Amino acid sequence: MSATIRLQLTLNGVATSLDVRPGRRAIDVLRDDLGLTAAKESCGSGECGACSILVNGEVRLSCLMLAAQLDGKDVVTAEGLGTAAAPHPVQAAFAAHGAVQCGYCTPGMTVAAVDLLARQPDPDREQVRRALSGNLCRCTGYGKIVDAVLAAAKTMAEEKS
């Protein structure tokens, strides 16, 4: 086992320093060490998207990232998007539009949706489906998730104007 290193990162908006073994997976550091359990592990091989986080504003799979790759980065997990008291419009829309069943894919889905809406604020259904195609859901059949993302896009556009 190699020694630990010190990582400096911005985590959900807070400057954070961590002493970790650099070869551990980012998801294990987030979940096991920091208790940030919104990112879930369901495959460990990049096939499901449940572990999605934002790194420097872009979607990343935290099961295929090493702790060392978090160094110097701006990292946002679903916890950093919003809270139950103050949810992100995407999170609120998922809850309001029936997009949540078991909810295990949901944090990853919301991260993918936020990533999409940052690049494409006014997507159509097909673009939403394409953007979420790396995030598996076994409960919903996806229709209500697409509804939720489109509703969030509308809310966000209204908030901007």
Partner 1 sequence: MTGPDAVFPRADALAKAVGAERYSADVTPPGCLWAGVRRAGVAHALITGLDVAAARATPGVVAVLTRRDVPGTNRQGIVHKDQPVLCGERVRHRGDPVALVLAESREALALALSRIDAAFSPLPGVFEPAAALDRDAPYVHPEHPDGNLLAYGLVEKGDAPTALADCAVTVSGEYHTPMQDHVFLELPNGTARLTPAGVLDMVVSTQAPFRDRFEIAHALGLNPWTIRVRAPYLGGGFGGKDGATVQCLLALAALNAGGRWVKMVWDREETFLAGYKRHAAVMRVTLGADADGTLRALTGSLLFDAGPYAHLSGEIMALALEHAGGPYRIPHTRLEGSCAYTNNPVGGAFRGFGVLQSSFAIERLMDALATRLGRDPAGLRLQNALGRGEPNAIGVTPEPGAGAAECLTAVLAHPAWTERAAWKRQAPPFTRRGVGVTCMQNAMGYGRGLPDAAAAKLELTKQGTFRIYNSVPDMGQGNASAFVTMAAQALHQSPEAFALIQPDTRHCLPAGSSSASRTTFTFGNALLGACRAMEAKLRARAALALLCDDPARLILSPGLVTDPATGAAVPLARLGALLPRDDRLCVDQFVMAVVENPPDTGRQFKLGFPHRFYSHGACLCAVEVDELTGRVRLGRCVVSVACGRVLSLEGVTQQVQGAAAQGIGLALFEDPALENGCMGAGDLSRYLIPTALDLPDIDCLIVADDEPTGPLGLRGMGEVGIHGPGPAIAQALFDAAGLHVTRLPVTPEDLLSALGGPE
Partner 2 sequence: MIGAVYCPTSLEALWPLLADGAHVLAGGTDLLVAKRGPASCAVALLEGIGELAGISEGDGLIRLGAMASHATLARHPLVRQHLAVLALALETLGSPPIRAMGTLGGNIATASPAGDTLPALLALNARLELASAKGRRVVPLADFLLGPGRTALAAGEIIAAVVVAPPAPAALQHFEKIGRRDALAIAVASLAAVIATDAAGTVTEARLAVGSLAPTARRLPAAEAALTGQRLNRESLTRAAAAIREAVSPMTDVRASAAYRRQAAGNLLLRLTPQP
Minimum CB–partner distance for residue 64 and partner 2 (Å):
5
- The dihedrals phi and psi of 117, each to the nearest 5 degrees, come to -70, -20
100 sits near partner 1 (criterion: CB under 8 A): yes
Among 16, 66, 129, 155, binds partner 1 (CB under 8 A): 129
Minimum CB distance to partner 1 smaller for 9 or for 146: 146
Q: How far apart are CA 70 and CA 89, in angstroms?
A: 26
Residues 45-64 that bind partner 1 (CB under 8 A): 45, 47-48, 50
Among 103, 120, 154, 155, binds partner 1 (CB under 8 A): 103
Decide: 81 and 152 in contact? Cβ < 8 Å: no
Burial class (CB in 10 A: 0-12, 13-18, 19+), 14: exposed
Burial class (CB in 10 A: 0-12, 13-18, 19+), 56: exposed
Name the residues that contact partner 1, by CB under 8 A. 1, 28, 31-32, 35, 37-45, 47-48, 50, 77-79, 81-84, 87-88, 91-92, 94-96, 98-107, 110, 125, 128-130, 132-146
